[in-house]
Amino acid sequence: MRARLHIGRSPANPGFTLIELLVVIAIIAILLPALNRAKAKGQSIACVNNLKQLDLGWHMYILDYNDFMPPQIIAPAGAGTTQSLPGSWVVGNVQTDITLSNIQHGVLYSYINNPGVYHCPADKSTVPSNPGLPRTRSYSLDVWLNSDASRINLPPEWFRQTHLKVKYGELRQTPQILTFVEEHEQSISDGTFVPTPTDPRALASPGNINRWSDLPSDRHGQGCGISFADGHAVNWHWKSQKLFKDHNQAATPGNDLNDLRQLEAWIPQP
């Protein structure tokens, strides 16, 4: 009886042949980048939707409170960081918050009472003191919209600057006025976002006007979610990658500085 050579699977060995396995690996290699792009796109869309909902809650508060915008009350939080005090749109310091209570104690929570809206699905940052615990918040509100920073020893002149607005009716060209920003995970702490140094003594120095006080994120394909005072939100693509070094870090000449100038163009004008 002549022996027969079996090519491929045998009843005793029903696994993949080498060729079949290589084909499967090749298909996965082709599909995986597309799946990753689809996932990233979905996260970007969800982030923009979050910002639209936060903006809606912000507008609802304004309607209920005689045109006053939700407050931002800032105070020291220790170790050189700051926190938002009760009465603010959101409370606490997201670097140290380990529960949702400071989200729930913010004045916007009665309008937007889904904690997930306050967190971008692409934000994988965790609480430094508890590395296994995800952060509760990814977004901050433009500091020029009804903020009170008197507790962090800014001079009185800052509160008389014409960029600072208290009521919605004081805003002009609302489609171009920044409201909520998806802030960089190493920059975010209290509920405010400061695109440039706000102390007039700092602004008096030409070198300081080219610095990031707070830094936006770039986790959506070098972009971040931003909303505006008319209620629309976008995933804004930055010209330069955003690498956090420190608060008040110098903007790199070129594209990074152009990104800073773009944010400055979106703050309320006199």
Confidence at residue 3, expressed as pLDDT on a 0 to 100 scale = 45
CA pair distance 217, 96, nearest whole angstrom: 19
What one-letter code names the amino acid at 163?
Answer: H
Confidence at residue 176, expressed as pLDDT on a 0 to 100 scale = 94
DSSP 8-class letter at 71: P
Concatenate the DSSP letters of all residues of 101-121 into one string: HHHHTSTTTTTS--GGGGS-T
pLDDT in tens, the chain (270 residues): 444 444 444 555 556 687 877 777 777 777 666 666 667 788 899 999 999 999 999 999 999 999 999 999 999 887 778 999 999 999 999 999 999 999 999 999 999 999 999 999 999 999 999 989 999 999 999 999 998 876 666 655 555 566 889 999 999 999 999 999 999 999 999 999 987 755 554 454 555 678 898 999 999 999 999 999 999 999 999 999 999 999 889 999 999 999 999 998 999 887
Q: Which residues contact 52 (CB under 8 A, 6 or more apart)?
A: 227, 231, 232, 233
Dihedral in degrees, nearest 10, Cα atoms 166, 169, 175, 181: 20
pTM (predicted TM-score) = 0.83
CA pair distance 115, 77, nearest whole angstrom: 23
Confidence at residue 24, expressed as pLDDT on a 0 to 100 scale = 72
Confidence at residue 248, expressed as pLDDT on a 0 to 100 scale = 84
Sign of CA dihedral 26, 28, 33, 35: positive
Confidence at residue 7, expressed as pLDDT on a 0 to 100 scale = 42
Helix, strand, coil fractions of the chain, as percent rounded to 5: 35, 20, 45
